[in-house]
Amino acid sequence: MPTRRRWLARLSGRRIRAEVEEAVARRAEALERRYEAIVRSEARYARAVEASNAGLYDWDIANDEMYQSPRMKELFGVAPDTCFAGRADFMAHVPLHPEDRKRIEDVVAAAFAARLSRYEIDYRILLPEGGTRWLRSYGQVFRDAGGQPAWLSGVVLDVTDQKRAQEALAESESRFRSLIQLSSDWYWRQDENLRFNFLSSQALDLTGHTGESSYGKRRWELSGMTPLSGSWDEHKAVLAARQPFRDLECCRVGTDGVTRYLSMSGTPMFDHTGGFIGYQGVGRNITERKRIEEELRARQEMLDMAQQAAHAAAFEWRTGEVGEDVRWSPDLEAMCGLVPGSYDGAYETWRKLFHPDDWPLVDAAIRHAGPSGEVAVEHRVLLAGGTTRWLQTKGRVSFDGQGQPVRMVGFMIDVTERHQAEDELRRLERQLRQAQRLEAMGTLAGGIAHDFNNILGAILGYGEMALRDAPKGSRLRRDLDRIMTATERGRALVEQILTFSRSSVNERVPVHLERVVREALDQFAAQLPHQVSIEPHLRAGRAAVLGDPTQAHQLLMNLATNAFQAMMPAGGTVRVRLEPLHLAAPRAATTGMVAAGDHVILQVADSGSGIPPEIVDRIFDPFFTTKEVGVGTGLGLSLVHSIVTDLGGAIDVASEPGRGSTFTVYLPRAGDAPETGEREIPELPRGEGERVMVVDDEEPLMLIAIETLEDIGYRPVGFTSSLEALDAFRADPRAFGAVVTDERMPEMTGSALIRELRVLNAAIPIVLMSGFIGTVGSARDTGADEVLKKPLSRRDLAAGLARVLQRGQRAG
């Protein structure tokens, strides 16, 4: 029996140990699964935090220990390795905005004291480079068993963009509300079911109905609303097609019983997915306009009937034994500018009303009327103050037995407006022809600029490269300098044509006019033959005008060139005078009025053949020239007139045939120009190994750009085909650090290429080059970060590329 018990005991022990081991294994396996779940949860939490771009913080209140995540330190502008002794140390060193510091403390204190311990607060920090960053904190206070605050944990988000967007939206809405309130129209909006959900406050006064009475209704469901033309079905078809509509005219009876005429225009609205969300638009009360239109129609009808009945203003002229007299209707007195009832009936009084130049024509028409006796003649009459009025006289003449006119009955019609319209038509036709010539000039200028600038660009680029290796003082250096000088003159010629083709300057700055004139005269004197001399009298000092130094230079060069050519081949003296002038009263000039005030006058006189009086008013016309073929272009004085007009000035021309001509330019003075020292020429900005795409269908220009960029530290890749460049970029949009492209290329323009590149990489810095900036608009219009005008020097290209790369770095 004892043996059996011992055996049972051993058996039970082994069973218990097995069960314990199995339980321990199960427990270990459960702990391992739980640990793996915790690891996965922490990984998901870390990824979520990283994806949210939020900063984390945790404050052990009892021990005053704080933890800030790297992102939180970055948001607060604190170095990653910065440690703080506690929360007070942290609050003392972070750059909180002074206006927000107390508010943060108050919010945290309220969270400590409140039973609901969560809080949310927006505040600002001050950035080292100036400006502020908006942050939003979400926090929660955790309490111990006794209900006392133990930990404070939370997250921080950068909400600067959101705040700016809210401010911009609020400002935009404020401006929109202000415009609505100031407008004489009302604003309306409909939902996707075409039911009104908003009408501005002006609706009651303008329609006779409140906005609330129209809410929830479609336009054709509004009480008393009827279209003036067409039907509601036609309007519904437009709305069903989601098309805008304009000037939908309706009449509507208001709650006050008054019928009002209304005109409405609207446009459909779509959300960001393209889904239709309703219509919005404006409405206008056109009741007064309709009343005026009806009144005009009635007056026109009455006038037509009166003209048919009375045949305009009637008159009768007769002659007899007692002399000649004239009788007329009162309307004719008003037509001739007389006070009603003031005409004495005398023939001589009537005759004196006619313009002296026209009376012989009228008298001859009357006295030599044909067998029918009918007379029709147009003439002028003199009104008080010396003004004239055109009249058309029609009538029938009666003759005596000797064939002499003894009586004429007829009517007169005022045709002044028709003559004015004909004069205006002729003036407009002249302007149209002028505009067409200027438009052709602009088109020609664009073509010349592109083609010629490409040629000049190659000469300029290779010339600059050759100059680097040419020894100073050598014949090669001298020859290259002459090539560069000729290139600069060619570039100035293209700029002159472009300046003529546009009517404004790019940038206006105070110009030291005397300095520019001296430089231009030095350049001009070097080109003169021995029989022509210059006599300068420059006494303007630092007097400045507001404009463009290049235009001021062109102004003097063109006036001086015109004077020089007027004296050839005999020669003579070009006298140039520059001095300040104050006008106490306005003064008339050849090209307009000179305002009173301070001016700078530039006067260029020659001793040439002078200008015939009959062509003085044409010398500023484009292409007009009196010089023989091959000598004058007809653009010089046109350009002078364009520049002076842009600068707000006027030109006075004094000339006498055989005695020479004097051109006096009056330019408004803009104070004194600032003193400037000698300008230092900096080194070319260098790159840092950026890979730059260069696109230009002109291979010489592309190769110049490649070599220039290589010299200053870039890694350029050149393309002569915009399509090949696009394919290369599409293959790896991140392979290039910047793009430099020409605008005018055969396969795809530079602007079109930029749009495609922006789709692939919106942030890449891009420089656009063009020989005619007027064809591409501003950099914002083209999508480029900067637009450079060709031909480019090495410095132009290097500086432009450096600027866009620096802006890209700041934006990043």
The pLDDT tens digits for 48-104 are: 555 557 888 888 888 888 888 888 888 888 888 888 888 888 888 888 889 988 898
Higher pLDDT, 591 or 513: 513
Task: Give yes or no for residue 678 having a pLDDT over 50.
Answer: no
- pLDDT band (50, 70, 90) for residue 757: very high
Chain Cα centroid distance, residue 127: 33
Task: For residue 472, tell me if it sits in a domain.
Answer: no
The pLDDT tens digits for 420-460 are: 888 878 777 765 666 566 666 666 666 666 666 677 766 77
State the total domains in the chain: 6
Q: Are residues 561 and 668 in the same domain?
A: yes
CA dihedral 330, 334, 339, 342 (to 10 degrees): -40
Q: Domain end: 414, 439, 454, which one?
A: 414
Q: What percent helix, strand, coil does the chain show, rounded to 5?
A: 45, 25, 30
Task: For residue 682, tell me if it sits in a domain.
Answer: no
Q: Domain end: 243, 258, 291, which one?
A: 291
Q: Are residues 518 and 663 in the same domain?
A: yes
pLDDT number for residue 505: 46
pLDDT above 90 as % of the chain: 17
Of residues 707, 770, 771, 797, the one with CA closest to residue 490: 771
pLDDT number for residue 401: 76
pLDDT above 70 as % of the chain: 75
Q: Are residues 656 and 596 in the same domain?
A: yes
Q: Are residues 650 and 787 in the same domain?
A: no
CATH of the domain at 128: 3.30.450.20
Q: Are residues 115 and 31 in the same domain?
A: no
The Cα–Cα gap between 546 and 305 comes to 61
Most confident of 96-100, 168-172, 403-407: 96-100
Other C-beta atoms within 10 Å of 175: how many?
10
Task: For residue 606, tell me if it sits in a domain.
Answer: yes
Q: Are residues 762 and 716 in the same domain?
A: yes
The Cα–Cα gap between 563 and 661 comes to 8
**Mean pLDDT value of segment 747-751:** 91
Task: Give yes or no for residue 808 having a pLDDT over 80.
Answer: no
The pLDDT tens digits for 552-566 are: 888 888 888 888 888
Task: For residue 158, tell me if it sits in a domain.
Answer: yes
Task: Give yes or no for residue 399 having a pLDDT over 60.
Answer: yes
Q: Are residues 665 and 523 in the same domain?
A: yes
Whether omega before 536 lies within 30 degrees of 0, making that bond cis, reads no
Q: Are residues 616 and 716 in the same domain?
A: no
CATH of the domain at 719: 3.40.50.2300
Q: Are residues 658 and 696 in the same domain?
A: no
Q: Are residues 278 and 190 in the same domain?
A: yes
pLDDT number for residue 681: 39
Q: Are residues 67 and 33 in the same domain?
A: no
pLDDT number for residue 622: 65
Most confident of 129-133, 255-259, 614-618: 129-133
Q: Which domain holds residue 20?
A: 9-52
| Average pLDDT of the chain, as a whole number | 79
Q: Are residues 20 and 41 in the same domain?
A: yes
pLDDT number for residue 753: 94
The pLDDT tens digits for 639-670 are: 888 888 888 899 988 888 888 889 999 999 98
Q: Domain end: 164, 199, 227, which one?
A: 164
Task: For residue 273, tell me if it sits in a domain.
Answer: yes
Q: Is the distance from CB of 774 to CB of 744 less than 8 angstroms? A: no
Higher pLDDT, 303 or 617: 617
- pLDDT band (50, 70, 90) for residue 724: very high
Task: For residue 451, tell me if it sits in a domain.
Answer: no
Task: For residue 259, tell me if it sits in a domain.
Answer: yes
Task: For residue 489, tell me if it sits in a domain.
Answer: no
Handedness of CA 340, 343, 345, 348 (dihedral sign): negative
